[in-house]
Amino acid sequence: MRLRRPRGLSCYWHEGQFVVHPYPRGTPVALHPAAAEILSAFEEWTDPAEAARTLGHLAPETLGEAIPALHEAGLLMSEGNPQAQRDELIARHWGTWAPEAPFFHYATQDVPYPDHEAVSERAPGAADMPPLFTTHPGADRLPLPRLPADLRVPYDEVLYRRRTHRDFTREPVPLRTLATLLAVVFGPVDFIDSGRGALFRRTSPAGGARQELDAYVGVLNVSEVTPGMYHYNALEHSLELIGEGFTPDEAAHLCADQAWAGGAAFLVVLSAALERMRAKYPTPRCYRVCLLNAGHLGQTFALTATALGLGPAQTGAFHDSAVAERCALDNIARTPLYVLAAGHPHPAPEDAPPPAMLRTFRDTALHR
Ligand SMILES: Cc1cc2nc3c(=O)[nH]c(=O)nc-3n(C[C@H](O)[C@H](O)[C@H](O)COP(=O)(O)O)c2cc1C
């Protein structure tokens, strides 16, 4: 019977042990690192006797024990086995995203969920929880106006008018508009007693109300605000100066050299303070929740910006390390996840896509 190593297999060192982790459903196994060499002989369907010839420098008894053990652990699959067919399909479908994306996806799938009480019992007490808010006490700060800009636009109008804008006018965004947007999207709405200290809630849902996402604002063209990188202090409703000076070229470069970002009036970097989430939810799956939370904040940002008469944009493409450095994030405990932007939308945007016509639909598969 010929055997093959799954395509879905990641190896790493964890807590001093060499671990081989098959996915989608496999269990991570700690092995002697020599297992990697044996597994490498099974790149394609291979007869164990043939593999033994390739691995001639290893004792036959070692291979005689190791190969069945690897097979038993699901680290070698038999030809024709349904597991092998599924492995092949996953490799084909995830294509160039492998191994990073499918490994994270499947390794954090179907995890056991401890009951709610067990999570609460294990969670540190209020005194050991990380602070709710990120603040930069030593920074120069600009307290923001609290008089909100008008947000009373019919809900349907906001929903259907929201579009991603990449062409902006040079008209500065009034400080009051920016202040309203930051307060509505990132400010606390209320405070709740979690049983282990206070938590706050925002206008967007957030997994466990951990509020691990902070907003850093790159100001380019906002009235009464010097261009620069600021942190939005949500507790105080102020902008804390991280670094003076911010140019359209720099903004475009940070956003993976997308020129449109330089035309925005400001960027907002969503950065995760990971310990705020991890302190209560130690399972790696909860990193997904941080990403989902960023999406929720992004949508609320886009709708609120639209209601305020701004054109919102967002980008998943950005130079992570450069963005982190510009926001003075260590990219370890605090790391950027998403970049949002807004400005006054150009009335006749140059990049507006043309509507799809009959000809377009002729070239489009609408269903199988
Ligand atoms: C998570 C996410 C990442 C995006 N990344 C980019 C990007 O890197 N560059 C860009 O020009 N647009 C980006 N967009 C905007 C999309 O291209 C846009 O939402 C899409 O074309 C649909 O248009 P609409 O937003 O007007 O409905 C992104 C949108 C989302 C939600």
Both 244 and 309 in one domain: the answer is: yes
| Beta-strand pair 228-233/213-219 | antiparallel
Q: How far is the CA of 162 from the centre of ligand 1 (A)?
A: 12
Both 15 and 142 in one domain: the answer is: no
pLDDT at residue 319 greater than cutoff 80: yes
pLDDT at residue 220 greater than cutoff 80: yes
Both 256 and 206 in one domain: the answer is: yes
Tens-digit pLDDT profile for residues 89-137: 999 999 999 999 999 999 999 998 888 777 667 777 888 899 999 999 9
pLDDT at 329: 98
Both 157 and 72 in one domain: the answer is: no
pLDDT at 167: 97
Give CA–CA dist 317/335, Å, rounded: 15
Both 301 and 162 in one domain: the answer is: yes
CATH of the domain at 75: 3.90.930.70
Both 82 and 195 in one domain: the answer is: no
Percent pLDDT > 70 in the chain is 99
Number of domains in the chain: 2
pLDDT at residue 71 greater than cutoff 70: yes
Range of the domain at 67: 3-107
* Nearest protein Cα to ligand 1, atom 13: 315
Give CA–CA dist 248/259, Å, rounded: 8
**Quick one: which atom of ligand 1 is closest to the CA of 317?**
8
Both 101 and 191 in one domain: the answer is: no
8 A C-beta contact, residue 165 and residue 343: yes
pLDDT at 125: 84
pLDDT at 47: 96
How many residues would you count in the chain? 368
Tens-digit pLDDT profile for residues 264-294: 999 999 999 999 999 999 999 999 999 999 9
pLDDT at residue 76 greater than cutoff 90: yes
**Quick one: which atom of ligand 1 is closest to the CA of 353?**
21
- CA atoms within 13 Å, Cβ hemisphere of 69: 13
Residue 314 beta carbon below 6 angstroms from any ligand 1 atom: yes
* CA distances (Å), origin 126, targets 141, 197, 199: 29, 5, 10
Residue 321 beta carbon below 6 angstroms from any ligand 1 atom: no
pLDDT at 123: 73
Domain membership of residue 354 (yes or no) is no
**Quick one: which atom of ligand 1 is closest to the CA of 163?**
26
In the predicted model, what is the mean pLDDT of residues 131-149?
97
Give CA–CA dist 163/150, Å, rounded: 20
CATH of the domain at 204: 3.40.109.10
Phi, psi (rounded to 5 degrees) for 111: -80, 155
Q: Look-up: residue for tokens 């050991």?
A: 128
Both 162 and 296 in one domain: the answer is: yes
Domain membership of residue 50 (yes or no) is yes
